[in-house]
Amino acid sequence: MPAQTTPLNITRPGAYVLTRDITVPSGDAITISANGVTLDLNGRNISVGTPGTGRGIFINGVSGVSVKNGKVGAFNVNVQADNSSNISLSNLQIIGQNLPLAGGPSEIGILLISSRGCLIDHNLITSVGVGIFVRGPLSGGNTVSNNTVTGGPNISRSPLGLCWNPLAGAAGNPAPGPKGDRAYNNHISQFVDGFSFSSGTTGSFAFDNTISYTNVGFRPDSTVGGNILQDNITLQVAPNP
């Protein structure tokens, strides 16, 4: 069956199963703007004709949403939840193209902005600029667990594996970031920096993660906000080519 080329907008609660691939020329492929949605990608591919543009799956201002079981790439942001809560993202394969940086990362695996109580679990993310990115002081209580996150063969195009920080342009010194998150049992490899809790991120906990083949394992400010790093394994090769 040919791939669908028009975006999919989900505006009503319910359980949805994707029955064909979606390939959009540019822009967003799937937008979820209803509470109580379960989207099973059913092993299908979500892709974009112009790599490094648009969003694969955009979850906007909702709660109680689950997305699982499919492939996404190579969008500017492959999966994004914005101003949302109780979101589950699991068993996704996010496949980037190790694109050159363009004033910032050209490809982000999973991005949470001002979102609470989310679970990012058992995802496989490769060849992106930033693997998993959590932003903003309204973000909190999120769990990032059991993910395999790998940069591209050109490590200079993959600045960060897992990152927590404020919103762009936020005021304050340090600007407030997420709070009360935890990250555990993730494997992070082939990034410039493996892991960062910004100095404005507070009360968060990273444990039992493995970080290898990075220039920096944990950024030095990761414990400034009372964050705890415990029982992590870091195998560094610095500098990397």
Q: Which pTM was predicted? A: 0.95
Burial class of residue 191 (count of CB atoms within 10 Å of its CB; 0-12, 13-18, 19+): buried
pLDDT tens-digit series, residues 24-79: 999 999 999 999 999 999 999 999 999 999 999 999 999 999 999 999 999 999 99
User: Looking at the domain assignment, is residue 170 inside a domain?
Assistant: yes
Residue-range definition of the domain harbouring residue 98 = 8-235
User: Looking at the domain assignment, is residue 1 inside a domain?
Assistant: no
Strand 45-48 relative to strand 63-72: parallel, antiparallel, unpaired? parallel
What's the domain count of the chain?
1
**Which strands form 55-60's sheet, in the order they lie side by side?**
8-10, 30-32, 55-60, 77-82, 108-113, 130-135, 160-165, 193-197, 216-218
C-alpha–C-alpha distance, residues 105 and 155, integer Å:
12
pLDDT band at 173 (very low <50, low <70, confident <90, very high): confident
User: Looking at the domain assignment, is residue 3 inside a domain?
Assistant: no
Task: Say what the pLDDT of residue 208 is.
Answer: 98
Q: State the sign of the Cα–Cα–Cα–Cα dihedral 74, 90, 131, 198.
A: positive
User: Looking at the domain assignment, is residue 241 inside a domain?
Assistant: no
Percentage of residues of the chain with pLDDT beyond 90: 80
C-alpha–C-alpha distance, residues 142 and 212, integer Å:
24
Task: Say what the pLDDT of residue 74 is.
Answer: 93
CATH, residue 157: 2.160.20
C-alpha–C-alpha distance, residues 14 and 114, integer Å:
24
pLDDT tens-digit series, residues 112-138: 999 999 999 999 999 999 999 999 999
Query: Which of 149, 147, 146, 77 lies closest to 112 in space, CA to CA?
Result: 77
User: Looking at the domain assignment, is residue 2 inside a domain?
Assistant: no
Task: Output the average pLDDT for the chain.
Answer: 93
CA–chain centroid gap for 215, Å, is 20
User: Looking at the domain assignment, is residue 79 inside a domain?
Assistant: yes
Task: Return the higher-pLDDT residue of 220 and 99.
Answer: 99
Task: Say what the pLDDT of residue 157 is.
Answer: 95
Say which amino acid occupies 189: S
Task: Say what the pLDDT of residue 240 is.
Answer: 47
